[in-house]
Chain A
Amino acid sequence: GENVEQHPSTLSVQEGDSAVIKCTYSDSASNYFPWYKQELGKGPQLIIDIRSNVGEKKDQRIAVTLNKTAKHFSLHITETQPEDSAVYFCAASNSGGGADGLTFGKGTHLIIQP
């Protein structure tokens, strides 16, 4: 089955700086890679995703890159703000049809220092 590794487990950055979180996956059949943000006491919220036919996707201060050959993908957050503090999860799945669940990384606790 799929295995997703995520690094770092904790990331502390100064407000206004950039943050990068990296993930690797093992199953070459995986073709969908979402990122979720989880705030304390809440459910994971989808913030951005990328499919395997695209190398990069950007949405305002958030971007995701995908390297299919190396089987890794990264989340980039620029101009970080205090409200970006949360736990971020990467995930992977195979959208080949059917009811496929997501395989998650172990999460990154992002701390934005004022």
Chain B
Amino acid sequence: DTAVSQTPKYLVTQMGNDKSIKCEQNLGHDTMYWYKQDSKKFLKIMFSYNNKELIINETVPNRFSPKSPDKAHLNLHINSLELGDSAVYFCASSHGSRNEQFFGPGTRLTVL
């Protein structure tokens, strides 16, 4: 299936831990994104990345860092997890200058 996939789907962890969420797209897109959806369903951009630039939303703590081993992957690393990091995280991708973004199924992160 051509799609944006994320692993894991659910992630439960303790405060202070470090965790990663993986994202892969097989759509041939060259731009990938991470969004955070809070408990009120509000979707907010965290990072945008292509091979030319990384755009970081200024409100994102530096405990969050995207890492892209290749054009098909953009993983999200989170250090020193806090209770407020609990949310659903969505990866998305798009092609070049076209804006249509396709979203993954999401990863529900719960920090205890």
Contacts and interface: CB of A to CB of B under 8 A. Distances in A.
Interface residues of B, number: 30
B42 A104 contact: yes
A97 B104 CA distance: 23
Interface stretch (B12-20, B48-56, B79-87): B48-56
Interface stretch (A17-25, A40-48, A62-70): A40-48
Nearest to A96: B97
B88 to A, nearest CB: 9
Contacts of A46: 100-102
Interface string A27-64: 00000101010100011111001000000000000000
Interface of A: 32, 34, 36, 38, 42-46, 49, 87, 89, 93, 95, 97-104, 106-107
Nearest to A38: B41
A97 B97 CA distance: 5
A32 B52 contact: no
Contact of A106 (B35, B40, B99, B103): B40
B101 A98 contact: no
A101 B40 contact: no
Contact of A104 (B4, B44, B55, B102): B44
